[in-house]
Amino acid sequence: MESPKYAGFWIRLVAHIVDGFVFSLIIVPLALWLVDFDLSRYSEQGSGTSIVRFVLPMLAVWLFWYYKSATPGKMIFRIKIVDAQTLGRLGIGQTIGRYFAYMVCIIPLFLGFIWVAFDPRKQGFHDKLAGTLVIIEEPKQNENR
């Protein structure tokens, strides 16, 4: 089996920016609706806005990682998250662990994310902790040839 082509720092960063934009198209209107479009109340930490601003995105990311092996931004660039050992789909534990391992990446001045640029397999700290790789999908060849 051929070794996978790893997705590097820049493509992953752009995919993450796209994800932020896509998710905000859903989250911001929902959060504004919960505070009756009163922008002065938008930053309040009420349970409704907290759920929409924090829990909903977390659940969306978990579901995308588990069912699609990618978030919308990654899908646009044909990259996906796979188990580092099998190159197969992630387990539920890996999706949850990878998400919370982002905190480990953030704490030392985002070094855990920057590490992707220097690692031979393009793994950030969150990938190493969760046992994942981010790879570029090869185009599917036409089987009717």
Distance CA 127, CA 104 (A): 11
What was the pLDDT predicted at 55?
84
With residues binned 3-state (H G I as helix, E B as strand, rest as coil), the percentages for the chain, rounded to 5, are: 60, 10, 35
The string of DSSP codes covering 51-110 is IIIIIHHHHHHHHHHHHHSS-HHHHHTTEEEEETTTSSPPPHHHHHHHHHHHHHHHTTTT
Distance CA 26, CA 22 (A): 7
What was the pLDDT predicted at 63?
95
What was the pLDDT predicted at 66?
97
Distance CA 133, CA 89 (A): 11
Contact call for residues 66 and 92 (beta carbons, < 8 A): yes
The torsion angles phi and psi of 91, rounded to 5 degrees, stand at -85, 165
Q: What is the pTM of this model?
A: 0.84
What was the pLDDT predicted at 95?
96
Provide the token pair at 24: 């905000």
Each residue's pLDDT expressed in tens, for the chain with a length of 145 residues:
578 999 999 999 999 999 999 999 988 788 777 766 666 655 665 656 677 778 888 999 999 999 999 999 999 999 999 999 999 999 999 999 999 999 999 998 999 999 999 999 999 999 999 999 999 998 877 655 5
What was the pLDDT predicted at 42?
54
| Packed helices 56-68 and 9-34: angle between N→C axes, nearest 10 degrees | 140
In the chain the first and final C-alpha atoms are separated, in Å, by: 21
What was the pLDDT predicted at 48?
63
